[in-house]
Amino acid sequence: MNPYDLPVGRIEELVAKHGTPLYIVSREKLLENYNRLNRCLPAVTLFYAVKTNQHEGILEILKNAGAGFDVASRGEIMDAVHAGANPREDLIFADTVKDPKHIAHAFGIGLDDFTFDNPSEITQIARHAPGANVHVRIMVSNKGSVAHLSDKFGAEIKEAVPLLLEARDQGLVPRGVSFHVGSQCLDPQRYVDALDQTRGVFDEAAKHGLDLEMIDIGGGFPVKYEGEKIDIEGMCAIIDTHYRKLFGTEIKLVAEPGRAIVGDAVILVTKVISESVRKGKNWLYFDDGTYGSFMEVLLYQMRFPMKTNTDGPLRKYVLAGPTCDSIDVFSRNKKGRIKEVELPEMHLDDLLIAGSMGAYTYSESTRFNGFEPPGFVYID
């Protein structure tokens, strides 16, 4: 069950017991999301992207369900290991920009699978993880996705094989190719095109005597926020069919999904702690905001489904967080400008319930002004 559909009375009970701000996590929904991807991508081994939400309960549930983990730092490695992950078998270090101290730490405890996209990363991996397995990340189209990761990451296609050869020359083991179609990708064609480009890299690599054996299709699988038409099963069927057409079943396939596993398994409950009228507009101030769970409103103009525990007449409100910064407003339009939203009338101590709050919320929250991130409670 999506926790957003919990009866409001039940949410109020949980808040009475645990306080606000509060994340309510549905174990059942988390497992349903993980199992669905596993089922729909039968050729793929899943490595949950820890950056999406590193809360220990989430990692433990996914570990017990059989997930591996994509990690980006020593902190994420420790979180995954704490949840029971075996560094060699269960972890991949898929971030292309790595702190060398973290490479050395990872290698020292057995993690030997790293992704890179430039010559200096080859040098860093060769220095601190000699002989490790490496994947080159290629730049693929992120068109239509919400977070455009190719703006920062990925080697140009023509550089991929020279980079793999350079890695081999520096004593590393070129193992495969990775890509990321961008987070919250709504168009399966992005994966189809990226697999086509990957096939080209494999063919070119073979001409140079490199026998690649693995493709990492990254993350990108979407979550329903407001109104999007999401068809994970259909998307996966397209990916699976195209992979089989291009590669048979010989090549190992892995993915690093985050958002689609944890996004709609979590809701946030935040309380009105202050209210005012400013230039004729009603403002509500909550005990969580953009420096907390709503960072993606600022970064990507994300909009989350919202409801209240009140049932008065609809009123227009600007929704703001508790910090000293005026950017701490989480009702914004698609251009990022402050806008009013319509909600049933709310006053002090009333509750705002936001859905699909599992991905890049807790993990992106800051300690600004001394505010702590929300607490967690796990249900069912």
Ligand X SMILES: Cc1ncc(COP(=O)(O)O)c(C=O)c1O
CB nearer ligand X, residue 256 or residue 350: 256
Nearest residue to ligand X by CB is: 219
Please report how close the Cβ of residue 306 comes to ligand X at its closest, in angstroms: 22
| 236 part of the active site | no
Looking at beta carbons only, is 210 or 255 nearer to ligand X? 255
Amino acid identity of 164?
A: L
User: What residues between 92 and 121 interact with ligand X by CB under 6 A?
Assistant: 94-95
Cα–Cα distance for residue pair 205/199, rounded to 1 Å: 10
Distance, C-alpha 211 to centroid of its chain: 31
Q: Which of 11, 149, 164, 167 binds ligand X (CB under 6 A)?
A: 149
Tracing tokens 């048979």 back to the chain, one arrives at 248
- Which one among 6, 24, 41, 49 touches ligand X, defined by CB under 6 A? 49
**Residue 161 is which amino acid?**
V
Residues 302-361 that bind ligand X (CB under 6 A): 359
Do 69 and 256 touch, CB atoms closer than 8 A? no
Q: What's the Cα-to-Cα distance from 275 to each of 233, 284, 314, 370, rounded to whole Å?
A: 44, 5, 16, 21
Judged by CB under 6 A, the number of residues near ligand X is 18
Q: Should residue 259 be labelled a site residue for ligand X when binding is judged by CB under 6 A?
A: yes
Pairing of strands 341-344, 314-320: antiparallel
Q: Is 256 in the site for ligand X (CB under 6 A)?
A: yes
Enumerate residues 1-40 that contact ligand X by CB under 6 A.
none
Q: Does 183 bind ligand X (CB under 6 A)?
A: yes
Q: Interaction with ligand X in 207-226: which residues (CB under 6 A)?
A: 218-221
Cα(296)–Cα(360) distance, rounded to whole angstroms?
7
CB of 208 to ligand X, least distance (A): 26
Which is the catalytic residue, given 40, 185, 236, 324? 324
Q: Are 238 and 188 in contact (CB under 8 A)?
A: yes
Q: 259 or 271, CB closer to ligand X?
A: 259
What's the distance, CA 104 to chain centroid?
25
Question: Strand 214-216 to strand 266-278: parallel, antiparallel, or no bridges (unpaired)?
Answer: unpaired
Per CB under 6 A, residues contacting ligand X are 49, 52, 70, 94-95, 149, 180, 183, 218-221, 256-260, 359
Residues tagged active-site: 324
